[in-house]
Structure 1
Amino acid sequence: MALALLLAVLAPAGAAHAAPGDDQWGFRGLVRDGERKPVTGAAVAVESDGEVVGTDVTDARGRWEILGLAGPGTYTVVVKTGGKTYEVEKELVRSGTTLPVQNLVMSTSDAPAVQASLGDKLAQRAVSGLNLGLLIAIAAIGLSLVFGTSRFTNFAHGENVTFGGIMGYVFASLAHLPLLLAAAAATVAGAAFGYLQDLGFWRPLRRKGVSLVTLMIASIGAALALRSLFQFLYGNGTRSLTREDWGTVRLGPVVMPATSYVAMGISVAVLVAVGVWLKRGRIGKATRAVANNPALAGASGIDVDRVTRIVWVLSGGLAALSGVLLGVFNQVSYDMGFNLLLLMFAAVILGGLGTAFGTLAGAIVVGLCTEILVLWIPADMKYVGGLAVLVAVLLVRPQGLFGRQARIG
């Protein structure tokens, strides 16, 4: 039943399977002068190993776009205007948290240096890391709550993130809904998907008394099946979730798309709401009680099955929202959730298994380390930094930052 509904919901996305130009590599950007006004008619070129691989001219809004590059690699973006040349070196990498098409904002002002200072780079990376950490936190909190109430590690949680991203693409790009409305619709669809998973698969297995190891292995199988299904319906390419252009915002040395700041605001609001619900809400308190001691919670009159079902709904909705926001920050692909799964596990383990608030702290740490360390290590190795911090913390606190020590034996 759940699989049939999933096929019906995702079928429209299959129509975009061969959409032209959606999975290209390249750059697009904006050229401004010292007064932050658009520069019109500037010649823009992208070079690789000294050879020009693409050219464009800025329009009336100072915007340009060069797509169709060969793929990952180091490129030089050269802007020529007013008899002067400005250039910047950029790297395109294939990873779960970087864009195949990068957005650049270049200034023709002589006041700032062409090469940003270490402090400016650090600020830029810190904000990007905070954004990534908040996105990880939204998805990882659902993973942590499922572990706390169901007592097993759900390896299919990354596919819930992918489901949200694809549904966001369906609602925003195919149904042409405004981005915020598409995000809300995808979140509701993700919550329904979480409910159907528990109703049709996990709840029957729990009632049969299946062991936790078996449940974990079953989740790996479910992840493989869902990922193959997404690949079949959506295709191998990466696609932009929406064509809406909200422009860029500069806060001191930090320049980011306005959508990234909106995503951060939504993430903070949602995380605060979940925290208040866990601390103040009746079901939230029951969820914490079940996570601490299911047997005692059931003996106290709490409907453990109902609480677990609500947690699956909440987990699916949060994962879907994270997928939409990640699709705005990055692009949508059939394996985007799988690429993020390792960072989600790192956040949950770093914060402490089963602790929602610890997961938030762990996600922020992982996000910051992942982005900031790119200043010193290659971009395609940036996950190493976050995982190295995880190992270092666990050597000192095996229970995580906010986990409780447990006696074994």
Structure 2
Amino acid sequence: MMKDHHSLLSFPVNLDYADELNNDFRKLKFSPDIETVFRSYYDEETLRMRQLAILVGCFLWPLFTIMDVFIAPPQYLSIFLFIRLAIVMPILLAMLKVVYSIRWQSYTRYYAVLVGAFVNAGVVIIVNLGHSYNPDYPYEGIILIWLFCFFLSGMVVREAMLVTFLPFICYIGIELFIIGNIALAMTSGLILFGTYIICAIGSYLVEFRTRESFLTKGMLSQLADTDSLTGIFNRRYFNNQCLRLWKQACRENKCLGILLLDIDHFKQYNDNYGHSEGDEALKQVASFLQKLAKRPMDVVARYGGEEFAVILYDINMEGLERYCQKLVQGVHDLKIPHGFSPSGDFITISCGARLMAANSTTVLNQAIKDADHSLYEAKAQGRNQYNIYGLDLLPREAVMKIL
């Protein structure tokens, strides 16, 4: 398996990789959510291999065309050349364009199946026509195409078996019932069937190990990106996702909301209720934050100690303010008793937020510092409240106009 050295795929940490690893996946199928992530992982891992394979295919295919000029039955030569040069070769060149184009690389999986199907069908037609004139016409080209489909195309086993088995059945059927060469059908069919079984088993073992490796990497990524106490993302994951989402927001001309929040007077809570109760309080607050971040691209992380961080993708100033209100009110409504807090009878939070527009000249690190500054402003104003950076500097109409 060739690995793309610049692989940037992230493993979603909300998936149970360990449970999937303990399950029986001998059928090479995961639960729907994990299967979706695996296919993206597999496509990225096999991209370099597909690029190399299609280059080799574009080089070898014309060589077999030259071979046909010398050994093809004269009455079928024009058909052979038409299949090779007018049908299959353009498809190979289109695949070459797809695998080397960033815009189309996400579709390489489907093009690989399409190319495999056309190449298999083309070779089978050529071999059957060749055998109708000369039983010694070489059929080994079918084996080469199968090796390509099973081991170089990046197809999973099911796809490779499908695009090779149907042409194989057609080949045997034509040899038996149309050409009528029973001896050739049996000998070549047995060799091809044995090759098919060997390729399928080998490809199955490769994919099984790849899936196993994927789950192991997912577990390790989960351990590296998850806070062990609360079960939500940690600061490392937040920093990585913040950069990734900001780049995506710039590409898509979206806004990004960055929030930092802190549990008020948490030291007094720990000192008086004990660290065990403090841990439980952190878990309850983290669970609430996680439930509030319902959208797929929202990120909630424990930033350190009693501090949390939130990323909100594609949100405006009005939405950011509503979200901050829900945060502050929601944590208060958890009604976690805190009899030693000057801010009230229950645990509360202070929140600082910063909205980043796609055309903003502010760098990401400065935006996080601005959110942190707003957090301290909220604390200075009495805690149990939020402060949005810049909201007090411009009228609402001006802020919305800018965005």
What TM bracket, shorter-length normalisation?
under 0.3
TM-score where L is the length of structure 1: 0.27
Structure scoring higher RCO (CA < 8 A, sep ≥ 6) equals 1
Q: Could you say which structure has the higher strand fraction?
A: 1
When Rg is computed on C-alpha atoms for both structures, the one with the higher figure is: 2
Q: Could you say which structure has the higher helix fraction?
A: 2
TM-score where L is the length of structure 2: 0.27
